[in-house]
Amino acid sequence: MVHKEALVHAMKLHQEDKGKPEEQRQSLQVLCWAAENEMKQQKKKVSVSHVTLKRWLKGGRSCQQANKENHGWLIPKEETSLIIYCLELAP
């Protein structure tokens, strides 16, 4: 969860950076370091990869999300139905 929070912060920094002239823009690696430092100030230790940030900026998905979508036993609608059914069975 902290990792995702840091990546979202790095993406926000990237969006802010896009408004600057090209010669003043920071690299993705510097933006990741800035996000890591922000998390460190909040007493949260996390490492953010510029490669992961680049993938996210291109609309990529996390490994966890990809595994869930590609190897899940149930689709989200089936999961919800199963949970509701189990809750109905519980006393």
- Our measurement of the distance from residue 71's CA atom to the centroid of its chain's CA atoms, rounded to an integer in Å, reads 20
Q: In the predicted model, what is the mean pLDDT of residues 32-43?
A: 88
Domain ranges across the chain:
1-60, 62-91
Q: Please tell me the predicted confidence (pLDDT) of residue 82.
A: 95
Q: In the predicted model, what is the mean pLDDT of residues 39-57?
A: 87
**Among residues of the chain, what percentage have pLDDT more than 70?**
100
Q: Please tell me the predicted confidence (pLDDT) of residue 88.
A: 94
Rounded to whole angstroms, how far apart are CA atoms 13 and 15?
5
Q: Please tell me the predicted confidence (pLDDT) of residue 8.
A: 84
Q: Is 0.85 topped by the overall pTM?
A: no
Q: Please tell me the predicted confidence (pLDDT) of residue 64.
A: 75
Q: Does 20 or 1 have the greater pLDDT score?
A: 20
